[in-house]
Amino acid sequence: MAIIKQFDKRSGITYVYDSKSYYDKEKKCSRAKRTLIGKIDPDTGEMIPTDGRNKGAKSKPNAVSPEVDKDKRIQELEDQNRQLKLQIFALKKEIERIQNSN
């Protein structure tokens, strides 16, 4: 197990990985499995932990009930579904109008 720092030229960010070596029997060579553990703050030089999905460290000081978020998301999806159905209906009418004009 080793800590690896890798600089990304495109973004200018230095990422920190936990690297674990293992032997690959199929390829008959040693390989490494890396897991993202954070990135280096360019100002302070300290490591900022991440959860590996570009969301930063998990901290929930104001935890909201998952039921409230789920109900809100369901409502948003129902509204989006309604809007899409209206668009489909309007497009079908437009197709019908174009076919009738020819």
Asked whether the beta carbons of 51 and 58 are under 8 A apart, the reply is yes
Query: In the prediction, which pLDDT does 23 show?
Result: 94
Does the predicted model carry a pTM greater than 0.85? no
Query: In the prediction, which pLDDT does 55 show?
Result: 59
Token pair listed for 72: 């809100």
Query: In the prediction, which pLDDT does 51 show?
Result: 75
Query: In the prediction, which pLDDT does 69 show?
Result: 80
Spans in the chain with pLDDT lower than 50:
none
Question: What DSSP character marks residue 63?
Answer: P
Asked whether the beta carbons of 56 and 48 are under 8 A apart, the reply is yes
